[in-house]
């Protein structure tokens, strides 16, 4: 398969919940996992970061201590990774969940070397728990792990089909970019990815593709290099 050799796929928690908005839409997740399986069968090294928005929106919890809210958010990402990893097992794909902190025997501690060895052995590696620190997002966790494992690209599967110059839900005239530089994204303060993640990607020259999780075979097509969504170049 032409395209990327090693990818990090970021799935937003909300996109995995589908119209339910909370928890898991099993049909969506099974479809995602079947696509991941195609990538693995085509010798693409696959890692995955999943957000936590289908369980917890810590930053909107009013007066709650931010650090505690973020800790719950990070644990939500672990639950998501364990769920999707189990769907991988059911679909016959071996996988591993790594976290930046210890959670007994439920996950492995993050290690670049171990992650690469797993991926090279055809396993999908889920990087759960974000960066392990509050005041960051799973976007930043994805950018960090993507840099560490020297991914060819970050593939961001979202509830929206790309990067727009304004929110298409608010503005029917909003214009979609097929390509935009990471610097321009920051300059225009577009919210497609957060600034910490964007800065890391610029520094490490890591391209990002933002696309719709709902697009038919979207993950496979983007990994093959097909131009859907928005490419954020560096």
**CB nearer ligand UDP, residue 122 or residue 134:** 134
Of 6, 133, 221, 224, the one binding ligand UDP by CB under 6 A: 133
Asked if residue 177 lies in contact with residue 231, where contact means CB atoms within 8 angstroms, the answer is no
Of 8, 24, 45, 77, the one binding ligand UDP by CB under 6 A: 77
Of 18, 141, 218, 229, the one binding ligand UDP by CB under 6 A: 141
The dihedral over CA atoms of 200, 201, 204, 206, expressed in degrees to the nearest 10, equals 160
The answer to the question of residue 18 lying near ligand UDP (CB under 6 A) is no
Exposure string of 51-69, with b = 16+ CB inside 10 Å and e = fewer, is bbbbbbebeeeeeeeeeeb
Structural tokens at position 72? 């719950």
Of 32, 40, 44, 58, the one binding ligand UDP by CB under 6 A: 58
Number of residues this chain uses to bind ligand UDP (CB under 6 A): 24
Nearest to 10 by CA among 226, 206, 216: 206
Nearest to 6 by CA among 130, 145, 153: 153
The 3-class SS string of 52-120 reads CCCCCCHHHCCCCCHHHHHHHHHHHHHHHHHHHHHHHHHCCCCEEEEECCCECECCEECCHHHHHHHHH
The answer to the question of residue 35 lying near ligand UDP (CB under 6 A) is no
Minimum distance of ligand UDP from residue 164's CB (angstroms): 17
The answer to the question of residue 74 lying near ligand UDP (CB under 6 A) is yes
Contact segment (CB under 6 A) with ligand UDP among 66-74, 149-157, 182-190, 210-218 equals 66-74
**CB nearer ligand UDP, residue 99 or residue 231:** 99
User: Which chain residues interact with ligand UDP by CB under 6 A?
Assistant: 12-14, 51-53, 56, 58-59, 70, 73-74, 76-77, 130-131, 133-134, 136-141
């Amino acid at each position: 398969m032409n395209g990327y050799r090693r990818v990090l796929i970021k799935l937003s928690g909300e996109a995995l919940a589908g119209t339910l908005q909370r928890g898991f839409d099993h049909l969506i997740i099974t479809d995602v996992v079947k696509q991941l399986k195609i990538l693995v069968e085509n010798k693409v090294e696959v890692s995955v970061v999943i957000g936590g928005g289908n369980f917890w929106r810590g930053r909107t919890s009013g007066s709650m201590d931010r650090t505690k809210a973020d800790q719950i958010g990070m644990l939500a990402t672990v639950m998501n990774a364990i769920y999707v990893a189990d769907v991988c097992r059911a679909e016959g794909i071996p996988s591993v969940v790594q976290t930046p902190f210890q959670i007994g025997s439920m996950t492995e501690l993050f290690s670049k070397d171990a992650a690469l060895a797993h991926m090279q052995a055809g396993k999908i590696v889920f990087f759960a728990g974000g960066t392990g620190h509050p005041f960051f997002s799973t976007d930043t966790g994805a950018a960090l792990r993507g840099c560490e494992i020297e991914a060819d690209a970050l593939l961001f599967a979202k509830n929206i089909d790309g990067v727009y110059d304004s929110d298409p839900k608010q503005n029917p005239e909003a214009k979609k970019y097929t390509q935009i530089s990471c610097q321009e994204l920051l300059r225009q303060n577009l919210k497609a990815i957060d600034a910490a993640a964007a800065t890391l990607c610029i520094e490490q020259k890591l391209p990002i593709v933002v696309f719709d999780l709902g697009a038919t075979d979207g993950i496979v097509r983007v990994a093959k290099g097909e131009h859907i969504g928005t490419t954020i170049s560096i």
